[in-house]
Amino acid sequence: MTGKGKWPAAPELLANLFDERLVGAACVGRANLFDDHRHGEDEQQTADRHAEAARICGRCPVRDQCDTAAAELDRAASGVWAGRVRNAGRPIGRPPRVAS
C-alpha cells in the first residue's frame, strides 16, 4: 500500500492478487517506489525514485514475466514495470497521439 486509503500500485496488486506469473516479485511491499508521479514530488525526486525501483527490478526473479504482463496491459500499466517507466504522466484511457 502507498498510504492510508490508497490502492497498491499495479505491480504489487498483480503480484499479490491477480497474476500468478508475478509471484515472488521483488517489488512486493515497495510499491511506493514504483508509482508514476506522486503528488508533491518534483521531476528529480520522481527520477531518483524510479531509478531505485529499476534497481530492484534488476534483481527480480520474474522480470521477464512482468515485462510480458506490462505489454499485455499496454497503456494501463503506469509507473515502473520490469525496470522501465511506462506511460509516465498519461491518464489511463487517454487515447495515444496519432501522427497525421
Write down the least CB distance from residue 48 to ligand SF4, Å: 17
Cβ nearer to ligand SF4, comparing 8 with 11: 11
Compute the distance between CA of residue 98 and CA of residue 100 in angstroms, rounded to an integer: 6
What Cα–Cα distance (Å) separates residue 23 from each residue in 26, 33, 35, 51, 81? 9, 18, 19, 22, 14
Q: Which residues bind ligand SF4 (CB under 6 A)?
A: 11, 15, 22, 25-27, 34, 56-57, 60, 62-63, 66, 80-82
Cell triple for residue 87? 506511460
Cβ nearer to ligand SF4, comparing 49 with 57: 57
Write down the least CB distance from residue 11 to ligand SF4, Å: 4
Cβ nearer to ligand SF4, comparing 1 with 95: 1
Residue 8: Cβ within 10 Å count: 19
